[in-house]
Amino acid sequence: MSLLQALDHALAAQQAAAVLDGDGSALSGSQLLRLAAAAARLVQQAASDAPCAAPGAPPVCAVFLSNSAAYVAAVLAALRLGLVFMPLDPDWPPHRLQQLCDEAHPAAVLWAAAGCPGGHGPPAISGWPLVQMPGMAELLQADAGSTGHPLGVLGTQAGVLNRCRWMERAYPFQAGGRVAFKTAPAFVDSVWEVFGPLLAGVPLVALPRSVGRDPAQLLRALADHSITHLAAVPTLWRALLVAMRQNSSTATRLQLRLAVSTLWQQGSVRAFLTGDLGWLDASSCLHLLGRRDHQVKISGVRVDLAEVEATLAQHPGVAAAAAKLWHLPAGPVLAAYVQLAEQQQNGSSIAGNLGSSAAPSSRELQQWCQRV
């Protein structure tokens, strides 16, 4: 049974809420399937006008939506058409979105109006058909980073089914189970957050991105929505534990039964070259030593320091630039330092910290990085 067949079977039998949005609205399994079918028809119409993909490349449908019922329906629409779905994070800068689309050649880019759950209006890209979601696969997962050359991992429907079936066996849902759909769609944990509950006939609750960024808000949302299953990286778990100690009354209302990290064994048949340096000790414990390149991660987001430096160096007033990640007690801070061009110097150089308030000259460079 394919992933789409399994989803159709599970959703057709689910008359109760299958997806709940943060605003309280909900879609049953049959309503979700109808919305997906309507979106698929629009994509099919638009795809006839799309530029052809590169030879040998899989057909792609890009999804410019954040966590919502509309995002889930868009993914189902792509699967129904036999397209690879590729999440586009609405928080990414426009040039990054354009880069990814130019690499992937999507048949269509699905979006929703701003103000609708998950909607941010049409993306600022050109050259590819934009399709607005109607009112109420496969997978190409771009890596979690907004700098550096776009990378992608092509997943399979069999892999998604295997992951979801394993999770259901290892951590079965119980009566009243609910899953938090809080991970950014472009991050791999969102795949289970969407398909795991849909296949099991369990409601998923789409939480706004702003909630996922604030541990105290997330803690309240988990309690208010009676969430039982949550997937999170270790950084977020640590922040949640701090929030639980500070909000004991909210913590006592939690119904979480499952804690999942993002690390699992893939075996030795396929490998993804991460660029990390490390070594295995006698007990097969992996010790990470750093990176082979200049990439760093801040709260799970990949940042290429070399690209930050190159972008700053393009400014007409900058002669040289350097970027560094500082590990401070309050958390990691990305800092950039520049040497002014000779005509700009007045006897001193400037240093701009990209993560805090800065003097006007530093603020101008921050805005430059956002535009370029």
| Start-end of H helices in the chain | 3-12, 29-47, 69-80, 94-104, 157-170, 189-200, 209-213, 215-224, 234-246, 248-251, 305-313, 360-371
Q: Which fold has domain 3-260?
A: Rossmann fold (3.40.50)
Return the SS3 of 324.
strand
Question: What is the value of pTM for the model shown?
Answer: 0.67
206 pairs with which residues across the strands? 181
Q: Which residues of 239-273 are buried (b: 16+ CB within 10 A; e: fewer)?
A: bbeebbeebeebbeebeeebebeeeeeeeeeeeee
Mean pLDDT of 287-301: 74
Fold for domain 295-371? GMP Synthetase; Chain A, domain 3 (3.30.300)
pLDDT, tens digit (0-9, with 9 covering 90-100), for 145-176: 555 566 666 678 888 898 899 888 888 888 88
Q: State how far the Cα of 336 lies from the Cα of 346, in Å rounded to an integer.
A: 20
CB 334 within 8 A of CB 358: no
According to the model, what pLDDT value does residue 134 have? 87
Task: Write out pLDDT tens, residues 184-226.
Answer: 888 888 999 999 999 999 999 999 888 888 889 999 999 999 9
Residue ranges of the chain assigned to CATH 3.40.50.12780: 3-260
**What are the tokens at 261?**
């990290």
Q: Percent of the chain at pLDDT above 90?
A: 33
